[in-house]
Amino acid sequence: MRLIGLALAATIACAAPVHAEQAVPKLPTTVFAQLPAMRKPVLSPDGHRIVARATTNGRGRLVLLDADQPEAKPKVIDIGTANVAALQWAGNKRLLMQVLSTDYIYGVVPVPILRLLAIDTDTGGSRVVDKKSDGLYAGDVLYADPTGSWALVASQDDIYSYPSVKRVDLATGNATLVEKARPDVWDWYADDEGVVRAGIAYEGRKWTVWYRDKAGDPLKKTRGKFAKDDDSAVDRVMFGPNNNGWIVTNERTGRFGLYRYDFVTGAVGEAIFENPKSIWTTSVTIRPAGRFTASAIRTIARG
C-alpha cells in the first residue's frame, strides 16, 4: 500500500503545474506542551475494553474503548479536575481510581491526601470507598477481586496511625478490618488470591518483613539489613512456593532490580533482572512456571 501511495503521489506531482516551493510554517512552542489525546491505557481483565485518561478544556475524562471494535464510539466519563494518582480495573465493569488532593492540618498546613473511588463503567456513577479512613494515606489497592465486588486496600485511620489493611465492598464503600496496623509498616502486600502475605517496616538500614506463608497463618517477623547506609529500599515483593519469592530492590547496585528472596531467612538471592542503564525496574509480571516479564520503563541515566 505504501508503494502504491508513493506511485500515485508521483503521478499527481508530474501532472500538476509547478509552483514555487513554499516554506513550511513553524509550529508554535505551545504545541509541544499539549497533553496527548489519550494516555496511560489499561486493558480490562477479559481483554475486551480499554480505559485511558484524557483532558479537554482543563477537565479530566476517562475514555472507555471497545478493544474488539476500535472504530466504535468510545464511552466518556467526566472526572472534572480530579488529580488521578492511580487507575486500575476491578473486574470488567468497575474501575478503582485513587485521587490525590490537598487538605490542611489544623486548617493551616497544606498536605497531600489520597482517597479511593469506585466507578461503575456502565452508569459512570462513582462513590468513595473506605470512607471512615481519615489519614493522609488511604486507598492503596493491594488486590481487586476478579468479580469486581471487593478489594483489599491499605489506609490510615487518622494522621497519627500506620496503615492497616481493610476489605472494602465496592458496591457500598463499606470497609472491614483484615490486618491491623503495625509500627513502621507503611507497605503491605497481598498475593493473587487476595491473602495479605507481608508488610515491610524500615528502621534506618534495618528492615523487618512481617510475613505469612498462607491464609490463616500468623504474621512472623523476618529481619533484613541493607549492606550500606544510603537510600536503599524495597520497591515490591512477590510470592512463590515454599516461603520463597522475589523482591525488587536497589540495595546491591543502586539500580532497582529483581532478585530471589527467602522469606524465612531474609536473604536476598541471585539477580533475575536488572537494566544496567536504568535506575528503575518496573512492570514485573510473574508468568506460569515462575517465568517473568520485566522491563525498565523509567530510564534515568546515572553519573
Res 173 pLDDT > 80:
yes
Q: How confident is the model over 16-70, as pLDDT tens digits?
A: 444 555 677 777 776 566 666 788 999 999 999 999 999 988 899 999 999 999 8
Q: Identify the residue with better confidence: 220 or 38.
A: 220
- For 132-162, the three-class secondary structure string (H helix, E strand, C coil) is CCCCCCCCEEEEECCCCCEEEEEECCCCCCC
Picking from 86, 164, 172, 178, the residue whose alpha carbon sits closest to that of residue 125 is 172
- pTM of structure: 0.77
Picking from 163, 156, 100, the residue whose alpha carbon sits closest to that of residue 133 is 156
Instruction: Record the cell numbers describing residue 99, joined without a space.
Output: 485521587
Fold for 36-180, please state it. Answer: Methylamine Dehydrogenase; Chain H (2.130.10)
Q: How confident is the model over 185-218, as pLDDT tens digits?
A: 999 999 999 999 999 998 777 788 899 999 999 9
Which part of the chain has CATH 2.40.128?
A: 182-303
Residues listed for the chain: 303
Q: How confident is the model over 236-271, as pLDDT tens digits?
A: 889 988 899 998 888 777 788 889 999 988 888 898
Q: Class for domain 182-303, per CATH?
A: mainly beta
| Distance separating alpha carbons of residues 28 and 219, to the nearest angstrom | 59
Which part of the chain has CATH 2.130.10.10?
A: 36-180
Query: What ranges in the chain are assigned the alpha helix state H?
Result: 2-15
∠ at Cα 282 (186, 146), nearest 5°? 75
| Distance separating alpha carbons of residues 195 and 191, to the nearest angstrom | 6
Instruction: Record the cell numbers describing residue 52, joined without a space.
Output: 485511558
